[in-house]
């Protein structure tokens, strides 16, 4: 298991020794690696969405192939990430395809040129204790449900909840002004 305290030291170093734009990209990569390693996920199963300055739109900054694919209004009643952002409540669902949800982003082919629905998901607001800056959504995706891997557990959700604040604090310190789904 990758230790969040070691990552904190790495991120402090990266922020001190890089431009804010570069540090932002490094933090996103470190977050992605952390969840991939600790929860046995693929890159495309770690989604990080950030709120705009008006707190109206959530935009992807991870996975990379979804960065310029569109945005999700916080006002959406069909979006899990919108609900998680608005309510600040954690989310766990191991029968995700049976739930009402915004599925437009599941109709975009993944980098391996496949359509992979989300079968299982956990999510938590990115909240540093002062501000909600977005949502992190971890999923199990595959062409067929039987290939989607293990169910998420309460322990997985606890790991997400307990680590997100660390990442949120670092992200907030280097957040691009009015981030809206583009990375230079």
CB-count burial class (<10 Å; 0-12, 13-18, 19+) for 69: middle
What pTM does this model have?
0.90
C-beta pairs of 35-42 under 8 Å, 24+ apart in sequence: 35/136, 35/138, 35/160, 37/1, 37/2, 38/1, 38/2, 38/159, 39/138, 39/152, 39/156, 39/159, 40/149, 40/150, 41/138, 41/139, 41/140, 42/141
pLDDT in tens, 33-78: 999 999 999 999 999 999 998 899 999 999 998 888 778 889 988 8
Share of the chain above pLDDT 90, in %: 58
For residues 116 and 113, give the distance between their C-alpha atoms in angstroms, rounded to a whole number. 9
d(CA 46, CA 137): 6
Give the domain ranges of the chain.
44-165
CA 28-29-33 angle, 5° bins: 120
Tens-place pLDDT, residues 85-121:
999 999 999 987 666 656 666 556 677 888 888 889 9
| Joined tokens for residue 175 | 């957040």
The CATH number of domain 44-165, selected from 3.10.20.310, 3.30.720.200, 3.30.450.40, 3.90.1150.10: 3.30.450.40
Residue written as token pair 């680590």: 163
């Amino acid at each position: 298991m990758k230790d969040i305290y070691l990552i904190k030291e790495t991120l402090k170093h990266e922020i001190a020794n890089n431009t804010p734009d570069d540090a932002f990209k490094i933090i996103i990569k470190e977050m992605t690696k952390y969840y991939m390693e600790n929860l046995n996920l693929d890159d495309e199963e770690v989604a990080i969405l950030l709120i705009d300055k008006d707190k109206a739109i959530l935009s992807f900054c991870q996975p990379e192939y979804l960065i310029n694919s569109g945005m999700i209004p916080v006002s959406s009643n069909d979006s899990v990430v919108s609900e998680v952002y608005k309510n600040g409540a954690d989310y766990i669902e191991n029968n995700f395809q049976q739930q009402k949800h915004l599925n437009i982003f599941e109709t975009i082919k993944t980098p391996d040129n496949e359509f992979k629905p989300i079968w299982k998901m956990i999510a938590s607001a990115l909240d540093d204790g002062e501000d909600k800056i977005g949502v992190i959504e971890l999923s199990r995706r595959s062409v067929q449900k039987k290939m989607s891997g293990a169910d998420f557990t309460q322990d997985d959700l606890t790991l997400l909840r307990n680590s997100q604040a660390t990442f949120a604090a670092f992200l907030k310190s280097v957040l691009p002004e009015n981030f809206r789904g583009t990375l230079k």
